[in-house]
């Protein structure tokens, strides 16, 4: 049986890199992975970790989720070489601190363009092939901040909320119409270079130009968060990668996955069923909308 062709965005470091390596190094060679990144100058670590899988089961390509031509180029290559696309992992994204109105609209739009519209662009690019083959898996890497917004990360949370709403809407249609399964993954803190960049720099320094009231509130909040989520308790990128593999191999994957038990408890405060599988049945959704149900 031919290996599944997998397209992953945002693979220069972190969750994307870990997922690409885990799938490409699968001992049963069940996957052929196209690990993509915005800037190929950042590929050296992934190339080194790939070892003998490089250009065999792991192919590193340039793809900027904000630029349609780069997406089309990689999708066309995958289809030309494999005749199909089995899995898309929408992982590319970034986060940054903000103080409500302390960032420009252009700054906010740029984050939305990557974190949300990037997901829409890549999904649109693979759907024609997946619809034609009547199968496929799409994994959208969100965040627990896409369920419960974090203070001082308004645009990041908004981008993940947008991704989650988009995913909820398309999931039942693609499942029932084309046998394409969509899943949302909601990690909490993960040990990545991105997390180090955001949380490794003192918030006082990052917020030095913020409104004094907002800055003081941020400092107080960040100290409390540090006591609850010290960096040593963050999940590893490999843990998230393993979950991605499990989802791909699952016959009937959930719509939502929180990546730890504590995150599931946090989500349950807002979601009656943390897997939200009921949303996959369009005809039953109205019953769950009733506050008396």
pLDDT tens per residue, range 127-186: 999 999 999 999 999 999 999 888 889 999 999 999 999 999 999 999 999 999 999 999
Distance from C-alpha of 38 to C-alpha of 217, rounded to nearest angstrom:
35
Say what percent of the chain tops pLDDT 90: 69
Q: How far is CA 91 from CA 42, 99, 241, 284, in A?
A: 16, 25, 11, 30
The predicted pLDDT at position 101 comes to 85
Q: Could you tell me the pLDDT band of residue 234, with boundaries at 50, 70 and 90? A: confident
Q: What is the mean pLDDT of residues 50-59?
A: 98
The predicted pLDDT at position 141 comes to 98
Mean pLDDT over each residue of the chain, to the nearest integer: 90
Burial class (CB in 10 A: 0-12, 13-18, 19+), 110: middle
Q: Could you tell me the pLDDT band of residue 247, with boundaries at 50, 70 and 90? A: very high
pLDDT at 52 over 90: yes
Per-residue exposure over 62-77, b if at least 16 CB sit within 10 Å of its own CB, e if not: ebbbeeeebbeebbee
pTM reported for the whole predicted model: 0.90
pLDDT at 196 over 70: no
**3 state SS of 98:** coil
Q: Could you tell me the pLDDT band of residue 266, with boundaries at 50, 70 and 90? A: confident
- Tell me whether residue 34 is one of the annotated catalytic residues: no
pLDDT digits (tens, 9 = 90+) for 107-139: 999 999 999 999 999 999 999 999 999 999 999
End-to-end CA separation in angstroms for the chain: 46
Q: Say which of 34, 116, 156, 257 is annotated catalytic.
A: 156
Q: Could you tell me the pLDDT band of residue 218, with boundaries at 50, 70 and 90? A: confident
- Alpha helix (H) ranges present in 117-211? 117-133, 154-178, 193-199, 203-206
Contact, 46 vs 113, CB < 8 A?
no
The predicted pLDDT at position 273 comes to 79
13: closest CA among 170, 195, 209?
195
């Amino acid at each position: 049986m031919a290996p599944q062709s997998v397209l992953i965005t945002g693979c220069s470091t972190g969750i994307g890199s870990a997922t690409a390596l885990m799938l490409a190094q699968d001992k049963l060679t069940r996957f052929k992975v196209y690990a993509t990144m915005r800037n190929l100058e950042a590929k050296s670590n992934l190339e080194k970790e790939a070892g003998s899988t490089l250009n065999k089961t792991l192919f590193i390509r340039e793809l900027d989720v904000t630029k349609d031509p780069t997406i089309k180029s990689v999708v066309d290559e995958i289809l030309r070489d494999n005749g199909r696309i089995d899995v898309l992992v929408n992982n590319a994204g970034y986060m940054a601190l903000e103080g409500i109105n302390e960032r420009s609209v252009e700054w906010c739009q740029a984050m939305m363009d990557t974190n949300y519209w990037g997901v829409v662009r890549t999904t649109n690019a693979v759907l024609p092939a997946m619809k034609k083959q009547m199968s496929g898996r799409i994994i959208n890497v969100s965040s627990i901040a896409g369920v419960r917004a974090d203070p001082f990360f308004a645009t990041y949370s908004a981008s993940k909320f947008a991704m989650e709403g988009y995913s909820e809407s398309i999931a039942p249609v693609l499942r029932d119409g084309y046998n394409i399964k969509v899943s949302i993954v909601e990690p909490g803190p993960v040990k990545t270079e991105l997390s180090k960049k955001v949380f490794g720099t003192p918030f006082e320094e990052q917020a030095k130009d913020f409104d004094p009231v907002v800055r003081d509130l941020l400092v107080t909040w960040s100290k409390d968060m540090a006591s609850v989520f010290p960096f040593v308790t963050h999940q590893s990128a490999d843990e998230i990668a393993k979950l991605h593999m499990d989802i791909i191999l699952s016959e009937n994957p959930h719509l939502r996955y929180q990546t730890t038990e504590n995150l599931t408890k946090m989500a349950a405060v807002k979601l009656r069923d943390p897997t939200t599988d009921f949303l996959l049945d369009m005809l039953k959704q109205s019953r769950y909308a009733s506050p008396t149900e």
